[in-house]
Amino acid sequence: MKSRIEKDSLGEVKVPADKLWGAQTQRSLENFKIGREVLPIEVVHALALIKKAAAITNREIGILPEELSRSIIAAADEVIAGKWDDQFPLSVWQTGSGTQSNMNVNEVIANLAIKASGGVLGSKTPVHPNDHVNMSQSSNDVFPSAMHIAAVLDIKRHLIPALRMLRNAFDEKSKAFDDIVKIGRTHLMDATPLTLGQEFSGYVSQLDHAQWWIEQSLEHLYELALGGTAVGTGINAPKGYGERVAAVIAELTGEPFISAPNKFEALSASDAIAGTSGALCRLASALMKIANDIRWMASGPRCGIGELKLPENEPGSSIMPGKVNPTQSEAMTMVSVKVIGNDTAVRIASSQGNFQLNVFRPMMIYTLLQSVQLLSSAMVNFTEKCVVGIEPDRERINSLLQKSLMLATALNKEIGYDKASQIVRHAHTHGTTLKEAALTLGLLDEKRFDEIVDPKKMIR
């Protein structure tokens, strides 16, 4: 393999001749051969977006020549567009500040600009990865800002639309099933009636609240650490740089990014990422409950609850003929467990912001974006492959409703709790209906029983 020699502060490094990265990226590749996890490309694109915004801002301030600014912007645009995704191979398991990934982007953009100008790769002229591409920046303020940008864009572009799709599918089912009276269940035991539509409306409300919490968490993510440089004091950044570069990023993305009001918090802590992870964990918990309810209500087909009929996606057993399983619910619950576990990892990492810098950041953003992407795709899949095809088994629902002893709750106001309990115990012990028990005990006549014990009258 042909190579070229690049240099950094530690000396010379051989870099494959066909690669656009430089010495620091190559060192990282050689020093961190850990796992298969690479930095998410969304973070790389966010880093390139920051380089573009920095080139614009530094030019406007008057510290970066027009020609160099244009070269950096053009190269950054190519990276943002995904043309050079294969030039960003670094492991998540690297320096905890993300310095090597920041330099990976600096080196690639510099070499792209050099190449476009007819220069020699690795020469650092006319565009230098540190002096020009990283001007007014430190990895310590760039990487957390890229984390915020990547998280916001992924959530707004993918997670929220997927969440709304699922929410709306449940809302349609809630309205369609509003006339179906069924038995409720608490403690996994029979309870008083409700409609299937009311039950599904609870899922709609859960998802609405989950969306609200996620959107609230974005308010902190909109704050960018840029301008804080190394420890939050802004050394080597022009006065007002943080506010100006954040405004450029807001314009480029269409999202309301602002300069973090306290750069010391923005560098040393990762509470914004932890907060968003917590909101995703809340969504995962809701999805776990919903998916479990769906598969329990569909259990059977003959020996379970069997109130719902789910789409049959595929055969369910390699040994039991004709078996079909609630696989979409199972996939959703596995995703939920993973996201809940991811939140634990993010929260522990967030607690490790010692003094002026958190050094768990590549792992945190990898984990957060994994949660976003898992939830987004799982919700789309669950909607399309399960929820839209859910049908009620009206006959089964009514059969279970009529058998329930908890309909006796309606008798409380007429004969009191104790006598209603006598009817329930007698019916259960002797295997009779509530009506038969009431008549046998002489507590009500048939006409009055029928007037009171009407499931439809027990629903508001």
Catalytic residues: 187, 317
Cα separation, 180 vs 196, whole angstroms: 6
What is the distance between the alpha carbons of residues 34 and 25, in angstroms, rounded to a whole number?
Answer: 15
Contact between 205 and 171 (Cβ < 8 Å)? no
Q: Are 166 and 382 in contact (CB under 8 A)?
A: yes
Neighbours of 152 (CB within 10 A): 20
The tokens describing 208, both together, are 């609405």
Helix (H, G, I), strand (E, B) or coil at 392: strand
Q: Name the pairing type of β-strands 223-224 and 189-195.
A: unpaired
Q: Quick check: 266 and 260 in contact, CB under 8 A? A: yes
DSSP 258-274: EE-S-HHHHHH--HHHH
- 């912001």: which residue's tokens? 353
Q: Three-state SS for 94?
A: coil
The answer to whether the beta carbons of residues 229 and 284 sit under 8 Å apart is: no
Pick the closest to residue 41 from 86, 99, 106, 102 (CA basis): 86
Q: Which residues are bridge partners to 186 per DSSP?
A: 189
Cis preceding-peptide flag for 301 (omega within 30 of 0): yes
332 residue type, one letter: M
Q: How many CA atoms does the CB half-sphere of 270 hold within 13 Å?
A: 35
Six-digit token pair at 280? 């995703």
How far is the C-alpha of 152 from the C-alpha of 150, rounded, in Å? 6
Distance CA 76, CA 382 (A): 37
Please tell me the distance from the alpha carbon of residue 147 to that of residue 272, in angstroms, as a whole number. Answer: 10
